[in-house]
Each structure stands twice: as structure tokens, then as C-alpha cells.
Amino acid sequence: MARPMRKNAVLKLGGVGALAVLLLGGGLQLASAGENTGSTAAQTVNCPTVRDKLPAIPASAAAGVERELANLDEEIARQNERLAQQAANPQGGANFINNAILGPLKSKRVAVLDRIEINFNRAGAQRPNLDALATCGLNAPGVASALNSSVKAGNAATGGNNTTAAAQTVNCPTPQIPAVPAQAAANVQAELANLDKQINEANARLAQQAANPQGGANFINNAILGPLKDKRQAALDRIEIAFNRVGAQRPNLDSFAACGLNGAGAGNAGNGNAGAGNGNAGNGNAGNGNAGNGNAGNGNAGAARTVNCPTPQIPAVPAQAAANVQAELANLDKQINEANARLAQQAANPQGGANFINNAILGPLKDKRQAALDRIEIAFNRVGAQRPNLDSFAACGLN
């Protein structure tokens, strides 16, 4: 009786051993497969482009529509970054991407598309219905997202060619401003920032005109350059008044009001910083940063200093990265304006010790610039272009 039981025990042990071998072998095989698989390319969002679906855009709505189209592209870039993180480090269940990425993206696009429709309505044009363009899907891994910056307005005569031509940019003279009294510095900086804002708005309209030409031969002069001159004249007048109010001689800046046009793809001279701006050396649709004029005094006591930041040397910008690069160039100009405003306040009301400017203004400015420059590099990388190294352009000095 004992032998059959012993035999059964041997068989059971043998079965367990065989099962263990199979499981171990399978586990090793699975582990080996996992080791050899490697990471796959991330998926990207597949959103319908909007620019090529729009009707003719009224001139008065063009700047607003361009801003919202750039917002759509920026949101696509943000969600593609999240998809890349998800591919590298999966989280959530089967519906994570739908619930945490595509769903919120649709909601944001609905809001942006509504604002585009409102821009038409405000200009007295028929409000388009863009609701069908809100929902996005997913591209196959490695396929780039279609962006509004890489298509132009729909036109049957183009035969479906959606390649964006480089837009012209405005060419405005840099106001030659004498040493700014400390009491006037904040007002002058605010108006210089207004001049830059006017340039950016005019460039947005020129970009729209390049994508969707309208009007006759004089359209740009009458609808863009003429109104720009009027706005600049008002800002320059306010700069003159700022001098006059503090008892300084009022400069005559009238000759700096009129602007011309750069060739397609050229950047602008502007007003953010003395001799240093963020113009793009490549694709003019992406880089309209503004090299500017500072207000550091010519040895006059109390004159406010301005930051002296190096101009990032950016290679030609791929069309798919253009909107993101342009947004970061605008951020760099905004950072310069903010730092100059603080320097103006410091000149009018000194505080802190000898290292106050380095610690409280130039140090934080370097950190902010580094973050913006990193985002420019990432914009290149996302579309498969070689990532430039812009680290050396982060630190600023003083004029």
C-alpha cells in the first residue's frame, strides 16, 4: 500500500517541478522580451486644423483670431508632452488618456473656438460654426500633430496646397530717447512696452494676410501700417509728456512713428531692451522678437539703468514649432520689460544693499529666461528637429 502512495507523491513532485520549470522559463522569456522591447514612440493628438476651415477673416478680427489659433497649437503641444510622459511612465487605467487628456483638451478647444467665433461676430461678420473642430483623436506613434501654424486659410484656387509662406513683418524705427529721468522711467518703460505690443499685433495681422490675402494693393498700408503709425504716434507723445511732467526737456519723437515692411522672414527692431532682443534668425513667422532701446542714462545721476540681455541665436524654425517659439520670444521680451520696470523703481527709490540688483532682479531674470529658452529648445525637439543649445543666452547684465 505504501508504494503506490510514494509513487503518487513522486508524480506530484515531478508535476510541481515541471510546472515550476515552465513558469520559470516563461518568466525568463517574458523578462527577456521586456528587456529587448525598448520604449516605443509616443502617440500625439490628432486635432482638426482650424485656420484652413475659416471663412475670410475681417481685418479688425485678424489679430484676435491669430492669437486664438496660436492658443490651439500651444494646447496641442502641452497635451503631446503629457502623452510623451504617459508613454514613458504609464498611469491610470484603459481610459486614462480619454479622461485625463483628450476630454479636457476638447473642453479647452471649445472655449478657444468660441472666442474665434466671437471675434467674427464683433467685427460684424457672420459667426462661423466651429463646434465640429473641437474633438481630437490620436495619431499613430511617431506621427506629428497637424498645427494651424503649418496650414493656411482654405482656398479652392490653391489646389489644396497648404504650405504657409513666410510672412512679412513691420519695420519700425527704434526711438532714440535721451537719458530718462528716474521719475519718468516707469511711464517711459510702459510706453516702450506698448510700442512692442503694437508691433506684435501688426505682425499677427501680416501673418494672417500672408495666409489669407484680402483687400487690394493698398490693404497693408491702409489697414495695418496706417493705424500702426497712429498708435505709435500716441505712445511716443506719451513718452514726450513723461519727460515734460518731471521738468526735463521734451524730446521730439515724431519721426519714429511711421513703419515700413521687412522682407518675408525678417525680424523686427523694437523697444524692449537696449540693443538686445529676441528676433529669430530663421523663420519670420516664428520669431518676431524685438531688439530695443534702453533708457540707461549718459552719466546723468538718477537715470534708470536697463537690462542688457543677449539675443538668442535661433536656427530656422520648423513650421510646426513656430507658434510655440513665437510665444516664448514674447515671454523673453515681457521678462525684459518687467526687469526694466523694477530697475526704474530702484532708481527712483533705492532699496537693499550693494547686491540687491543682482539678487532681486538679474538672478530671477536669468532663471525665467532659462525656462523660456528651454521651452524653445523643446519646441524644436518635439517636431523632430535638432534641439539648439540656448543656455548661453540666459544671463543678462546691465546697460
Q: Is residue 9 pLDDT above 50, yes or no?
A: no
C-alpha cell recorded at residue 26: 516563461
Residue 127 has pLDDT above 80, yes or no: yes
Q: What is the mean pLDDT of residues 128-136?
A: 94
Say which amino acid occupies 378. I
pLDDT at residue 354, as a whole number? 79
Output the pLDDT for position 26. 42
Asked whether residue 190 carries a pLDDT value surpassing 50, the answer given is: yes
Do 146 and 323 touch, CB atoms closer than 8 A?
no
Contacts with 6 (C-beta within 8 Å, 6 or more apart), sequence order: none
Q: Across the chain, what does the average pLDDT equal?
A: 78
CA-nearest of 176, 186, 181, 345 to 247 is 181
**pLDDT at position 88, please?**
85
CB burial of residue 40 (10 Å; 0-12, 13-18, 19+): exposed
Cell numbers at 269, concatenated: 527692431
Q: What is the pLDDT of residues 229-286, one digit of tens each?
A: 999 999 999 999 999 999 999 999 999 999 998 866 555 555 654 333 343 333 333 3
Burial string for 222-255 (b: 16+ CB within 10 Å, else e) reads: ebbbebbbebbeebbeebbebbeeeebeebebee
pLDDT band of residue 324 (cuts 50, 70, 90) is confident
Q: What whole-number distance in Å separates Cα of residue 5 and Cα of residue 8? A: 5
In this structure, what C-alpha cell is assigned to residue 349?
Answer: 527709490
Tell me if 361 sits within 8 A of 195, measured CB to CB. Answer: no
Report the sign of the C-alpha dihedral through residues 377, 382, 383, 386, in that order. positive
Give the per-residue pLDDT at 254.
95
For helices 182-211 and 62-88, angle between their N-to-C axes, nearest 10 degrees = 90
CA atoms within 13 A on the CB side of 24: 6
Instruction: Please enumerate in sequence order all residues whose Cβ is within 8 A of that of 271, keeping only pairs 6 or more positions apart, or say none.
Output: 174, 175, 192, 193, 195, 196, 290, 292, 293
pTM score, two decimals? 0.39
Averaged pLDDT for residues 382-399: 90
What pLDDT, in 10s, does the model give residues 153-170?
A: 764 333 333 334 456 788
Mean pLDDT score, 370-375: 90
- Specify whether the CB–CB gap between 149 and 70 falls below 8 A: yes
Nearest Cα residue to 46 out of 141, 144, 137, 151? 137
Place of cell 523660456: 372
Q: Are 274 and 287 in contact (CB under 8 A)?
A: no
pLDDT, position 272: 53
Q: Which residues of 113-138 are buried (b: 16+ CB within 10 A; e: fewer)?
A: beebbebbeebeeeebebeebbebeb
The three grid cell numbers given for residue 238, joined into one nine-digit string = 506719451
Q: For the chain, what are the domain ranges?
A: 45-139, 170-398
CB 283 within 8 A of CB 322: yes
Alpha carbon distance, N-terminus to C-terminus of the chain: 103
Q: Are 58 and 69 in contact (CB under 8 A)?
A: no
Check pLDDT > 80 for residue 210: no
Is 164 or 205 the better-scoring residue by pLDDT?
205
pLDDT of residue 218: 87
pLDDT reported for residue 161: 39
